[in-house]
Structure 1
């Protein structure tokens, strides 16, 4: 069996107390999914950019994971011609 490599690149940018992260999954052999996540600074909080980066990145990865589950469910349904149950 040969190992497969998928890579995720996360890009983070900030605009006016909002942090946006984009998590881009590149599958070996083709295919790409992009998850996004946002964080905003509460005006009452101290500005700690690292926290906004971490939260936005976590949300982007969660979005990406959700999309990957949806793609997998669709692939299973197409392959088996029956509804998938990924909770089993």
Structure 2
């Protein structure tokens, strides 16, 4: 059986002075939602380049989302098999 699926990720970025906060959320077609958060803080001695703060905060949020999704997968495997599951990171 082959299938093509599409999952959507929403990225919200909030910038306040030298701090950037990113929230990402993934929603599957079945309605399951997983989210992640990332934070970036600019060193006051560095030049202000908002794109860099966005990139760093979003990358950290995506990494956080990936860890949460792996944890969800482990729980789902354990629920399906009745055995503990530990996925490689």
Question: Which band: TM-score by shorter chain?
Answer: over 0.9
Return the offset for 1:78.
0.8
Return the offset for 1:9.
1.1
1:58 has 2:71 as partner:
no
Hey, what does 2:9 align to over in structure 1?
Answer: 8
- The count of residues paired between Structure 1 and Structure 2 equals 88
Return the offset for 1:38.
0.4
What root-mean-square deviation, in Å, do the aligned CA atoms of Structure 1 and Structure 2 show?
1.3
Query: Which one is further off, 27-36 or 50-59?
Result: 27-36
TM-score normalised by the chain length of structure 2: 0.92
Query: Which one is further off, 13-22 or 58-67?
Result: 13-22
Return the offset for 1:29.
2.0
Hey, what does 1:72 align to over in structure 2?
Answer: 73
Hey, what does 1:19 align to over in structure 2?
Answer: 20
Structure 1: stretches of 5+ with no match in the other structure: none
Q: Following superposition, which runs of at least 4 residues in structure 1 exceed 4 angstroms of deviation?
A: none
